[in-house]
């Protein structure tokens, strides 16, 4: 693999790149179910994690383009969940949302290769976090690591929209030739950055096959491999 040169700033995706989002989401929802079971055992018995995820995804689709704040979307999902099982209660929905968010942030476990790699890159490059999520660095054990942070909910535009990456360039204070984007999503991180004229490294932790219609110039399987190609 050819070395990547001329880079001044590196932007990283968050969920799935720096930590296992699916794992922490499942764990957080299990805490919600436990809390609901202590308050309303009969109601909790009507739910499971898969059903809550299904309702949340449906709500997110319904609100797409209107609401980008993920905490607000999650709250609405809990409202609709309680309504669907015949126990509508906005106060209870807010309480469950608080329980979810508490564990959503506190229970994040960084992949083992994250801190060693970021610490090695610090001081050599301007580092940034680009996310369609809402995992604030200071709440995830990554305070003082990033010089710029771009959340889609703060700008009303999401990856893979090229406008999102234009915002990132402005925040990074560099040209598109000087920014390198790193992420696990082929669509959001690789295709999105490429369409914006930005170099990208695909972090393929699960070693999945690349679809025939997608071109990937740089691929790594561990974040530490990034150090070898810079």
CATH code: domain 21-106 is 1.20.120
What string of H, E and C letters represents the secondary structure of the chain?
Answer: CCCCCCCCEEEECCECCCECHHHHHHHHHHHHHHHHHHHCHHHHCCCCHHHHHHHHHHHHHHCCCCCCCHHHHHHHHHHHHHHHCCCCCHHHHHHHHHHHHHHHHHCCCECCCHHHHHHHHECCEEEEEEECCCCCHHHCCCCCCCCEEEEHHHHCCCCCCHHHHHHHHHHHCCCHHHEEEEECCHHHHHHHHHHCCCEEEEECCCCCCCCCCCCCCEEECCHHHHHHHC
- pTM (two decimals): 0.90
Q: What is the domain partition of the chain in residue ranges?
A: 9-18+110-229, 21-106
pLDDT tens track of the chain, all 230 residues?
789 999 999 999 999 999 999 999 999 999 999 999 999 999 999 999 999 999 999 999 999 888 878 899 999 999 999 999 999 999 999 999 999 999 998 899 999 999 999 999 999 999 999 999 888 898 888 989 999 999 998 998 999 999 999 999 999 999 999 999 999 999 999 999 999 999 999 999 999 998 888 889 999 999 999 999 99
Tell me which architecture the domain covering 9-18+110-229 has in CATH: 3-Layer(aba) Sandwich (3.40)
């Amino acid at each position: 693999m050819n070395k990547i040169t001329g880079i001044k700033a590196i932007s990283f995706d968050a969920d799935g790149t720096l930590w296992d989002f699916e794992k922490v989401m499942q764990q957080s929802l299990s805490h919600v179910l436990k809390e609901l079971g202590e308050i309303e055992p009969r109601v909790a018995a009507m739910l499971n994690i898969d059903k809550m995820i299904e309702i949340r995804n449906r709500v997110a689709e319904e609100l797409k383009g209107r609401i980008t704040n993920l905490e607000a979307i999650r709250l609405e999902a809990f409202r609709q969940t309680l309504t669907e099982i015949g126990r509508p209660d906005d106060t209870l929905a807010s309480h469950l949302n608080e329980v979810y968010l508490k564990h959503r942030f506190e229970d994040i476990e960084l992949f083992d290769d994250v801190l060693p790699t970021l610490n090695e890159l610090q001081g050599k490059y301007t580092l940034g976090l680009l996310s369609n999520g809402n995992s604030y660095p200071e709440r995830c054990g990554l305070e003082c690591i990033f010089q710029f942070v771009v959340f889609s909910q703060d700008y009303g535009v999401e990856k893979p929209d090229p406008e999102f990456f234009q915002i990132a360039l402005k925040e990074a204070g560099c040209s598109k030739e000087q920014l390198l984007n790193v992420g696990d999503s082929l669509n959001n991180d690789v295709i999105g950055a490429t369409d914006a004229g930005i170099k990208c490294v695909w972090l393929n932790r699960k070693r999945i096959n690349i679809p025939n219609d997608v071109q990937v110039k740089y691929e790594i399987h561990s974040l530490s491999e990034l150090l070898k190609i810079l």
